[in-house]
Amino acid sequence: MTSTPTGDHADTGARQKRRRSATLSLNRVRPRNIAVVMAATLVVLGLNTEVAVADPEPTSRASDTIGYGPELRDEAAAFAYGLAFPDAAPQGANDWSCKPDEAHPRPVVLVHGTWANAYGAYASMSPQLKQAGYCVFTFNFGRPVVRGQGLDALLPGATGDIEESTKQVATFVDRVLAATGADQVDMIGHSQAALETRMYLKYEGGANPEDPARNKVKHLITYGGTNHGTSLDSFATLMLAVQAKLPPGSIDLHEPFTQVLGAGGVQQVYDSKVVAKVNEGGDTVPGVDYTIVGGIYDEVSTPFDKTFLTAGPGATVNDVVLQDGCPQDISDHNSMLYSPRAISIALHALDPVAHPDLVCSVNPWLI
């Protein structure tokens, strides 16, 4: 004989039955409905897988110039002025109403090097390019979003990650093309800027491998470019020598040197993955004419001839030793941008008909 549950026993049985029913219902809907609900929730909250794996926040930034500094022909004086007024533009640059003409069909974009800024690098060259009839543009890049305890806290720019900085270069070139209506620019770069501009050509849209006629850059002119690595004023030589003496798996000296010198500096050393990436598949891209200037007194991009490039298919390369035919020019790594001969090389590369001759005069080392 079966008894019928009453009171609390009946309530308990009913609750257990409802739980079993709910569990069975949940099991039936889980394969489809829960997946749909979760996916919809993720989309509403912006947490789908593509968004969740976000790009890291940039550690450096670019900035426009503000105002103008004086035209200076002395590198040390220009560097000092650039430290005091880090946002100043060199004379002749950043006239956003400037339009290229038939004789000067492409604007010229100037890109500074490590621990430098637009003014300190181009206080002499920019006004001379403008006087020659070119639309000239420049900016500051690679500035830390949060300043550290090293040289990035003291010096005006290009201490940030090189690949981040390359994106800043790409954005600026697009602004110049849009403002001027030109199809292409010519670019001039110093030191680290050789890597930046070449990275831009290969990886950030500066060149069109399918149709080189549609490249955004026609001429690239570099001075003291760290194209195949650098000793970084012997800091890198010291770092790599000490690293080789340390036991495998011990401290990586790249990290403390990065904190002191900035990522952009350390990424130019001989063993850098950035240097390897830029040179992967060859030094050049089709459709670009390269003028690569090295100086025998360069104490940073050493050996100086490591700056030189080898032309690949569809490209031309003119490797120039600054002192060839002008031994009295003893420019070093930084002062070469203030060399009358170096500036005449740029003008000749941009328009050899209008500027057939190279200047030769004294230009000092580190002054």
- Strand arrangement of the beta sheet that strand 108-111 belongs to: 136-138, 108-111, 185-190, 217-223, 289-294, 316-321
Kindly report the pTM of this predicted structure.
Answer: 0.80
Nearest to 332 by CA among 256, 224, 226: 224
3-state secondary structure of 326: coil
Residues 324-353 have a mean pLDDT of 97
pLDDT in tens, 265-280: 777 788 789 999 999 9
Distance CA 102, CA 300 (A): 38
In this prediction, residue 250 carries a pLDDT of: 80
Buried b (16+ CB within 10 A) or exposed e, 256-268: ebbeebbbbbbbb
In this prediction, residue 209 carries a pLDDT of: 93
pLDDT higher than 70, residue 175: yes
Residue by residue, DSSP assigns 160-225 as S-HHHHHHHHHHHHHHHHHHH--S-EEEEEETHHHHHHHHHHHHSSSS-TT-GGG-SEEEEEEES-
pLDDT in tens, 81-134: 999 999 999 999 999 999 999 999 999 999 999 888 999 999 999 999 999 999
In this prediction, residue 22 carries a pLDDT of: 39
> Could you tell me which residues come within 8 angstroms of residue 213 by beta carbon, excluding any fewer than 6 positions away?
287
- Within 13 Å and on the Cβ side, how many CA atoms surround 57? 4
Distance CA 186, CA 105 (A): 10
Angle between helices 235-245 and 254-261 (to 10 degrees): 160
pLDDT in tens, 249-268: 887 776 766 666 667 677 77
